[in-house]
Amino acid sequence: MTNGKRQQKKEITRRAIVSAAVDLFSRNGYEKTSIEDLAKAAGIGKSTVYTYFKAKEEIFLAFCDEEFEYSFTALRDRVDAEAPLIEQLHALFMSQYEFVTSNREFGRILIRETLFPETVTSLAKESNQRYLDALGEILTHAKARGEIRPELDNFFLSAHFFMLYLGALSGFYTGYVTTTEDVGSGLRTLLNQALQGIAL
Amino acid sequence: MTNGKRQQKKEITRRAIVSAAVDLFSRNGYEKTSIEDLAKAAGIGKSTVYTYFKAKEEIFLAFCDEEFEYSFTALRDRVDAEAPLIEQLHALFMSQYEFVTSNREFGRILIRETLFPETVTSLAKESNQRYLDALGEILTHAKARGEIRPELDNFFLSAHFFMLYLGALSGFYTGYVTTTEDVGSGLRTLLNQALQGIAL
DNA sequence: CGATAAAGTCGAATCCGGTCGACTTTATCG
DNA sequence: CGATAAAGTCGACCGGATTCGACTTTATCG
């Protein structure tokens, strides 16, 4: 038990913090939950939280991991792999959209932190990478079916589609569109543009 | 002068705040500039600032209005209107990119506030609208030249291109790409995908 | 004008994220 | 074991954004 015990305890405390976050963020929202609240709920002192997380945002990302963990990949597996690419993408993104906006604040903060983080940290990048990888698989499959141009790079393709999804999401957050249907049809329009090409 | 005098004075004070913001934000950055600094520079009390702006972020948006106002439209006018669309877009976005990231902090906050605002406020939407309108003009011209499919809606086209620009920008902020050249070539790849179409 | 409401101003107080440095617990090793 | 280092814990503190409530100025109208 030389060092293992210490590690084990750390893991437990860490979980306690995340667990407190899941509870309190869900119940009272992110902004309304103070670090001290989390500490108290986790049964530790305020500044001990900072031994586990560099900043509040980082706790938020851990919270999202916990809450959204399987969402994307699980959704991807549920989507019919033989459907036309646009249908797969649309279904995938719309599920993700509904999930992310189930709590308006969370989606907003998640996007902010992962796409435009304050400091370049591996965390945000890692989070994005999961999305891009999941998309990449779908695209590889679509290439194999001969549905899309095989010479295009998966990374840029994934990024492209993801940004279109983000556009639809931003439309929601800025108030351009308010209903899920409108978000869906807007997204479809954008995906179509990308697939069919904009040039004559 | 029943009510006009009051209004007039308010306008002057408001300008003083924004002017102080332009000065101090540029010189010391956003985070490093406190509300009190702004108030002092504007010759008013700290909390009076809140009569004019609901939050510090709002002052930032006003600052951007002041600072970036001409940039986008001026750039657009400088771009060769007869060049291929991709060149026009690329030049426009890259100028915008350099401008926005001249201070890393500014671009990040601007995007956060305008694209994923905390509350649906006309401010953010208005700011975006200017971009989309400017893009719309370029697109209309490209349609007239027969370079792009005329049946596509300008709004969605503008949004599409703007999101690709944002993708390049996000790549910079997340650390996927670090040099301006890489941002430029990534953006070009994405624009090409959109124009040529991804589907076979 | 003078009373009264409305709008504006301000410094003090509050709240909260994050740092500091003293203190406690655990690991290491002679 | 006992000394010492390393790691972990904590509450006090700090800075800065935002709110509060008392006070001052301006507008309104009989």
3-state secondary structure of A136: helix
pLDDT, residue A184, reads: 98
User: Rounded to a whole number, what is the distance in Å from the CA of A148 to chain B's nearest CA?
Assistant: 4
Tell me the CA–C1' distance in angstroms for B50 and C3: 30
Tokens of A107: 């989606």
pLDDT over 70 at B116, yes or no: yes
Contact of A114 with chain B, judged by CB distance below 8 Å, is answered with yes
* Partner residue facing A159 (CB), from B120, B148, B190: B190
Residue A199 with chain B: CB contacts under 8 Å: 85, 147-149, 195-197
Give, in Å, how far the C1' of C21 lies from the CA of A71.
43
Cα B199 → chain centroid: 32
Cβ-in-10-Å burial (0-12, 13-18, 19+) of B151 comes to exposed
Residue B74, pLDDT score: 75
Q: Which residues in chain A, range 37-56, keep a C-beta under 7 Å from any nucleic strand C atom?
A: 46-47, 50, 54-56
Q: What was the pLDDT predicted at A134?
A: 86
Question: Rounded to a whole number, what is the distance in angstroms from the first to the last CA of chain A?
Answer: 69
**Strand D close residues, chain B 34-93, CB < 7 angstroms:** 34-36, 46-47, 50, 55-57
Q: Does A175 touch chain B (CB under 8 A)?
A: yes
Mutate to test the interface with A, among B113, B120, B174, B182 (most CBs of A within 10 A): B174
Least Cα distance to A30 among A105, A95, A101, A125 occurs for A105
- pLDDT digit string, tens, across residues B17-62: 999 999 999 999 999 999 999 999 999 999 999 999 999 999 999 9
In whole angstroms, what is the distance from residue A5 CA to residue A10 CA?
A: 9
Which domains does chain A carry? 4-65 (1.10.10.60), 70-196 (1.10.357.10)
The answer to whether A171 contacts chain B (CB < 8 Å) is: yes
Per-residue confidence (pLDDT) for residue B23, from 0 to 100: 95
Give the pLDDT score at A121. Answer: 67
Helix H segments across A69-153? 71-78, 85-100, 104-115, 122-144
pLDDT of B65 over the 90 cut: no
Would you say the C-beta of A51 is within 7 Å of strand D? Answer: yes
Gyration radius (Cα) of chain B, Å: 19
pLDDT of residue B1: 42
Q: Tell me what pLDDT residue B66 has.
A: 84
pLDDT number for residue A5 = 61
Tell the residue number behind the tokens 């706790």, with chain if given: A59
Q: Which chain B residues in 33-52 sit with Cβ < 7 A of strand C? A: 44-48, 51
Average pLDDT over every residue of B145-153: 94
CA distances from B45 to B29, B37, B66, B98 (A): 21, 10, 23, 36
pLDDT at A1: 42
Q: What's the CA gap between B91 and A9, in Å, rounded?
A: 55
Q: Is the pLDDT of residue B140 over 50?
A: yes
Q: Which long-range contacts (CB under 8 A, 24 or more apart) does B183-189 make?
A: B183/B94, B183/B97, B184/B90, B184/B94, B186/A156, B187/B90, B187/B93, B187/B94, B187/B97, B188/B86, B188/B90, B189/A153, B189/A156
The residue ranges of chain A whose pLDDT is under 70 are: 1-7, 69-73, 120-124
ipTM for the whole complex: 0.86
